[in-house]
Structure 1
Amino acid sequence: MQLIQTVVVKQVLTEKSKEQLFEKFRGKMLQLKKESEQLLFEQKRMEKTKNFSTEALKKKFETEIQIRKEKMKLLEFQTEQLHNLPLGSEIQEREVQALVEVNVGDLWDDKFGQVSIIIEDGVIKEIR
């Protein structure tokens, strides 16, 4: 019988991977800023049309902008934490699903212990 198991993918922090993460964070930050600016523009445009309730419209746009500001704060925090991490640290990148073959007589804990895949500069270094 086959079962699905969650496998943690961890990345070893190197100069290259650290720079890639900084670039990824910067890109997300720029995207969130653009979205916030676009929302402000849309809010002003819709307020001028007078087809909508001004108060409800303002509240909805403020909520959406606030969500993006919170995401930006989280990205800033992650960037600070990345600065503090030493090279060689392992950081969780994502989780993936894997099929595990189980048979009668198998030890359950051996089959379903925490499995991790360790990646260094895009290459699988180890499977634990």
Structure 2
Amino acid sequence: MRIIKKAAVKHVLTEKMRDTMISDFHRDQKQLDKEIEQLRFQMQKQWKTADTGWKKTEIKDRYDKEIEKRKEKKQRSEFQLSQLEQLPLGTEIGSKEVDVIEEVAEGDEWPSRNQEIIVQDGIVTQIRNKRSDDENGMV
């Protein structure tokens, strides 16, 4: 019988991966800046066409809320970027979980321990049972 279980994917931090992640963070931050400017432009446009004071307040509040969400995302991104720059090379960074299929038969020991898939520069370098001292699961 086959069962589906979860396996954690971890990436080993290399100089190449750090550079890629830094450029991704910068790209995301620029995109958030563009979204903020677009929201401000749309708010001004709708605000000018609103006919009552309460409608103008409603428009401003709605757009301010969306702008604030983008600003918070940008702050989180900046914090993650600062953390990434401090991490030593070789650190394992947890990225996601994937489903894996495992074969089980009567008499087998139940697969209670999760597996980890270790990836370095896009290549799977190791598949191992999850460590109990998961001290490197940062970022």
Instruction: Report the TM-score, using the length of structure 2 for normalisation.
Output: 0.85
- How much has 1:14 moved relative to structure 2? 0.6
- How much has 1:97 moved relative to structure 2? 1.5
> Size of the alignment, in residue pairs?
126
- Work out whether residues 5 and 112 of structure 1, in 8 Å CA contact, stay in contact via their aligned partners in 2: no
Provide runs of 4+ in structure 1 moved above 3 Å.
Answer: none
Equivalent position amino acid for 2:93 in 1: I
Instruction: Report the TM-score, using the length of structure 1 for normalisation.
Output: 0.92
Task: Provide the residue aligned with 2:28 in structure 1.
Answer: 28
Equivalent position amino acid for 2:94 in 1: Q
- How much has 1:57 moved relative to structure 2? 1.1
Distance in structure 1 (CA, Å) of the matches to 2:2 and 2:71: 44
Moved more, 61-70 or 93-102: 93-102
Select which of 92, 95, 103 maps to 1:101: 103
Distance in structure 2 (CA, Å) of the matches to 1:22 and 1:63: 28
Task: State, as a whole percentage, how many aligned pairs show the same letter.
Answer: 40
Distance 1:124 1:51, change over 3 A: farther
More helix by share: 1
Distance in structure 1 (CA, Å) of the matches to 2:24 and 2:63: 26
- How much has 1:98 moved relative to structure 2? 1.6
- How much has 1:101 moved relative to structure 2? 2.5
**Deviations for 1:21-43, whole angstroms, at most 9, x for unmatched residues?**
00111111111111111000100
SS in structure 1 of the partner of residue 25 of structure 2: helix
Unmatched tracts of structure 1, length 5 or more = none
SS in structure 2 of the partner of residue 18 of structure 1: helix
Unmatched tracts of structure 2, length 5 or more = 129-139
Give runs of aligned pairs for residues 32-47 of structure 1, distance below 5 A: 32-47=32-47
The structure with higher relative contact order (CA 8 Å, sep 6+) is: 1
